[in-house]
Amino acid sequence: MAAHHHHHHHHYEVETAQAGKILVVGIVLNLLFVLVELVMGWIYGSLGLLCDAGHNLGDVFSLVLALLAYRLALIPATKRYTYGYRKSTILVSLLNAIILLVAVGAIVVEAIRKLQSPADVNGEAVSWTAALGIVVNGITAYMLMQTRKGDLNMRGAFLHMVADTLVSVGVLLSGVAIMLWGITIIDPIISLVIAVVILVSTWRLLADSLCLSLDGVPSGIDVDAVTDAMRATPGVLGVHHLHIWAMSTTQNALTAHIVIDNMAQMEVVKLLVKERLGALSITHATLEIEVGTSCCENKC
């Protein structure tokens, strides 16, 4: 079992190191693009570019926080924090969602102001800058796609990059419309569309982060499936006092009482149950064994 634990710990460290490298590259690419957007938006008076730059700056900050959380997650456990700082990844996900919601509010307010007082915008400059955004966000999203599965932090970052790519497409279309038909009012309209896209992509992240912060069952875990898998293990008569929660955005834990029919088989049953739980993305399980008959679970 010690070797089994070491394997999971090593696997977690490898995944964290990989995620860290991807986040660093994403931070650098997006920070450079934010600078380009801010300069172009300021020079040519494009609210769409300035809003998207603000959003992308929020994403850079979010990526930095995610990277910080992964670094904290690698710090060994202490007497005060017996799980270490792994849960910081969940808190960062929640903070990122809140930051993005604040950004949505700021974009909406500024877009409404621009609708009331439209300004001239250079469509060509907007189009070229947005095209660069499609490339940068697309590359970042592709890198994040490799590690998004089973990780709330990386999934959130991936969804944001996909949304950013779509937003850049929208800004590009607005630039083309301004060049061809001179419809400058489309710039704040695109900004409102950007706000809706951000809100939609952020809502799920906010809900999942809140759930995990309250030690709720992670969205990818089916409690009934977990219970059925444990009960189907040879030698297991029943399962009760089941609790499932997230230790971090990548690691799930479980505690449960298991009723068996033969105490001599306790270690074998434990091993079999933990193997089944591992297949269901639960890598840390604490099991209390009880000896009883098949009717014991109903009494419990």
CB 168 within 8 A of CB 133: yes
Q: What is the CATH number of the domain that holds 265?
A: 3.30.70.1350
Task: Examine residue 83 and state whether it is found in any structural domain, yes or no.
Answer: yes
Last residue of a domain, one of 183, 213, 243: 213
Task: Examine residue 25 and state whether it is found in any structural domain, yes or no.
Answer: yes
Task: Examine residue 107 and state whether it is found in any structural domain, yes or no.
Answer: yes
Both 86 and 148 in a single domain? Answer: yes
Say what the pLDDT of residue 1 is.
Answer: 45
Both 50 and 181 in a single domain? Answer: yes
Last residue of a domain, one of 213, 234, 262: 213
Let me know the angle formed at the C-alpha of 239 by 235 and 243, rounded to the nearest 5 degrees.
135
Both 158 and 74 in a single domain? Answer: yes
CA 236/CA 290 separation, integer angstroms = 10
Both 205 and 269 in a single domain? Answer: no
Both 139 and 272 in a single domain? Answer: no
Q: Which is nearest to 268 in space by CA: 287, 241, 283, 240?
A: 287
The per-residue pLDDT string of the chain (300 residues; one tens digit each, 9 = 90 and over) reads: 444 444 444 445 555 567 778 888 888 988 888 888 888 778 877 666 677 677 677 778 777 877 887 788 778 888 888 888 888 888 888 887 887 788 788 778 878 887 887 666 667 777 788 788 888 888 888 887 766 555 666 777 777 777 777 777 777 887 788 778 777 777 778 778 878 877 887 788 788 889 988 999 988 889 999 999 999 999 899 999 999 999 887 789 999 999 998 888 899 999 999 999 999 989 899 999 998 764 444 444
Task: Examine residue 289 and state whether it is found in any structural domain, yes or no.
Answer: yes
Say what the pLDDT of residue 3 is.
Answer: 44
Both 241 and 97 in a single domain? Answer: no
Task: Examine residue 75 and state whether it is found in any structural domain, yes or no.
Answer: yes
Pairing of strands 252-260, 236-246: antiparallel
Its sign, for the CA torsion 67, 70, 76, 81, is: positive
DSSP string, the chain: -HHHHHHHHHHHHHHHHHHHHHHHHHHHHHHHHHHHHHHHHHHHT-HHHHHHHHHHHHHHHHHHHHHHHHHHHTSPP-SS-TTTTTTHHHHHHHHHHHHHHHHHHHHHHHHHHHHHS-----HHHHHHHHHHHHHHHHHHHHHHHTT-TT-HHHHHHHHHHHHHHHHHHHHHHHHHHHHHH--TTHHHHHHHHHHHHHHHHHHHHHHHHHHHHTTPPPTT--HHHHHHHHHTSTTEEEEEEEEEEESSSS-EEEEEEEEES-GGGHHHHHHHHHHHHHHTT--EEEEEEEE--TTHHHH-
Number of domains in the chain: 2
Overall pTM > 0.75: no
Both 21 and 166 in a single domain? Answer: yes
Both 174 and 253 in a single domain? Answer: no
Range of the domain at 14: 2-213
Task: Examine residue 218 and state whether it is found in any structural domain, yes or no.
Answer: no
Both 236 and 208 in a single domain? Answer: no
Both 165 and 41 in a single domain? Answer: yes
Structural tokens at position 19: 């995620």
Last residue of a domain, one of 181, 213, 245: 213
Both 271 and 295 in a single domain? Answer: yes
231: number of Cβ within 10 Å: 15
Give the dihedral of Cα atoms 157, 57, 167, 89; nearest 10 deg: 10
Q: What is the CATH number of the domain that holds 197?
A: 1.20.1510.10
Both 229 and 135 in a single domain? Answer: no
Task: Examine residue 58 and state whether it is found in any structural domain, yes or no.
Answer: yes
